[in-house]
Amino acid sequence: MDEQRFIIRPEDRGQNWRVARACADHLRAQCAALTPESQGIEVVVRPYRKRRSLAQNRLLWWWLNQIAEHINASQGTAFSDEEIHEWMKRKFLGADVVELHGDKVEVRKSTRKLNTQQFTEYLEQIDWFCVEHLDMMLPRPEDLYEEAMGRG
C-alpha cells in the first residue's frame, strides 16, 4: 500500500471539497482492501508544513563548506563538507537503531524529512555550535540568511 498525501490549502477554498472527496475515496478504497492479515492503515490529519526550502538547503551547504574550511585550516585536517554534514546530523538529529537480519544497525536521521520550521531549528543549532565550540562565526549573507530562516 503506497502512501498518499492530500494537501488542502486556504487559497484553494473553493476547490477544497474536491481534494476532500478524493481523500475520502482513497480512504474508502484502502479500507475495502484491508484483509485480516494486514496491519491496518494510518490516517493522520495535521497542519501542512512545507519541507525545507531551497534557500535553507543552499545556506546549509554553504555553511558546511565554511565549517570544513575552518576546521581544516585550524587543525591541519582534510574534512569534506559531506563529512561535516554527517557529523552535524549525528550531533543534532541523532540516529535510530534498527534490526536487520539479526544485526543492529544505526541509521542516521535525514535532513530531507525536516519541515521548514525543523530545518530552521537545525540551522540555528549548527550556528550556535560553531560559536560555542569552534570559535567561529558563520557568514550570514543578508538575502540568503533571511530567506532561509523564514524572515525574508
Look at residue 2 and tell me whether its pLDDT is greater than 80: no
> Is the pLDDT reported for residue 8 higher than 80?
no
The pLDDT tens digits of the residues spanning 72-130 come to 999 999 999 999 999 999 999 988 888 888 999 988 888 888 888 889 999 999 999 99
Backbone φ and ψ for 126, nearest 5 degrees, come out as: -65, -45
Q: Are 95 and 107 in contact (CB under 8 A)?
A: yes
Q: Is the pTM of this model over 0.85?
A: no
pLDDT at 1: 57
Q: What share of the chain is helix, strand, coil (3-state, %, to 5)?
A: 55, 10, 35
Average pLDDT taken over every residue of the chain: 86
- The residues spanned by each domain of the chain are 1-48, 54-148
Contacts of 148 (CB under 8 A, 6+ apart): 53, 55, 56, 58, 59, 120, 123
Q: How confident is the model at residue 133 (pLDDT cuts 50, 70, 90)?
A: very high
Q: What is the mean pLDDT of residues 50-66?
A: 87
State what percent of residues in the chain have pLDDT above 90: 41
pLDDT value, residue 45: 74
CATH no., domain 54-148: 1.10.3790.10
